[in-house]
Amino acid sequence: MNFMYKEIPDARTWTNIKQIYAGWSSDKKYYIQTNDDREMLLRLADIMQHDRKKLEFESVERLKDTDIRIPRPVDFGICDEGKSVYSLYTWVEGQDAKEAIPKLSCSEQYRLGLKSGEILKAMHEIPVLNRSSSWAERYNLKIDRYIANYSTCGIHFKGAEQVLNYIETHRFLLESRPMTFQHGDYHVGNMVVSSSGELGIIDFNRLDDGDPWEEFNRITWCANESAEFASGRIHGYFHGEVPESFFKLMALYIACNQIASVPWSIPYGESQVNYMLEQVEQVLDWYNGFEISVPSWYLPS
């Protein structure tokens, strides 16, 4: 029994423990199988993250009455002689959606996209807990920070002026936006597809409360894999009746992500920086240099 997690209740019943290296979280993650064939996910974090991890665990519990395939909270506590905090969840079986979806037929890709939109809408039925400031106030501060970080990071991309101009001329869209529960990182990299074709949602470590439409800021990762899936996600969320105002606001959130992604990538090395720069170039192409608000990959029907 590993010393780090031997203090976790029932850890003695674990017969298979396999570390998971995928993802960007600083958590240490493990696949757990018990002697009665239950499967679980163990996340370990530094004790300094205790309050954040407790909030994360309790926030996922807010989804307990939904039928969404997600990791269900099992146990939370402190281990490793007080140096680590653990979160134990049920395991969601399935293949990484980023790998699975491109191999499917276009109709299946679209079906799963519809389902991802319906799931996201269900999550957004959960109201915020407590939030004193308005969404516009919060997000405008975030935009200012993104722009400042980009301006001083030393790496700039062609077309940044167009992105920044779109941001500045569309900040007004943030006014009076509602706030709900947010997954915080909703895209194919945090989804799995079961052997029976069911969609599961994982990795809630960036969950938050905010504008529900901000959750489309990472739909670019979905569109990279499948225009059918990304379009279906929008259709499923709005049940086919997509408001015109949605696309302008989605473009704003995506524009902000492009400005934020470059300085974010720098600590991860040159290859990651180049990957983000390629993504920015792709986004600029989709939006014709942000002269349009509906991306070229979008399939209206």
Spell out the residues 6+ positions from residue 287 whose beta carbon is closer than 8 angstroms to its own: 251, 254, 255, 293, 295, 296
Spell out, as residue ranges, where the chain has pLDDT lower than 50: 1
CA pair distance 59, 70, nearest whole angstrom: 13
CATH code of 95-290, in short, is 3.90.1200.10
pLDDT digits (tens, 9 = 90+) for 82-121: 999 999 999 999 999 999 999 999 999 999 999 999 999 9
Model pLDDT, residue 128: 83
pLDDT of 33 reads: 95
Neighbours of 130 (CB within 10 A): 5
* Numbered ranges of CATH 3.30.200.20 in the chain: 3-90
Q: Which CATH architecture has domain 3-90?
A: 2-Layer Sandwich (3.30)
pLDDT at 234 (0 to 100): 98
Cα–Cα nearest to 45, from 63, 62, 33, 57: 57
Q: How many CB atoms lie within 10 A of CB 199?
A: 24
In this predicted structure, what is the pLDDT of residue 173? 98
Q: What is the pLDDT of residue 3?
A: 57
Q: How far apart are the C-alpha atoms of 102 and 32, rounded to whole Å?
A: 29
Residues 6+ apart with CB under 8 A from 121: 236, 237
pLDDT score at 1 = 47
**pTM beyond cutoff 0.75:** yes
Q: Return residue ranges of the chain for CATH 3.90.1200.10.
A: 95-290
**pLDDT score of 27:** 86
Length of the chain: 301
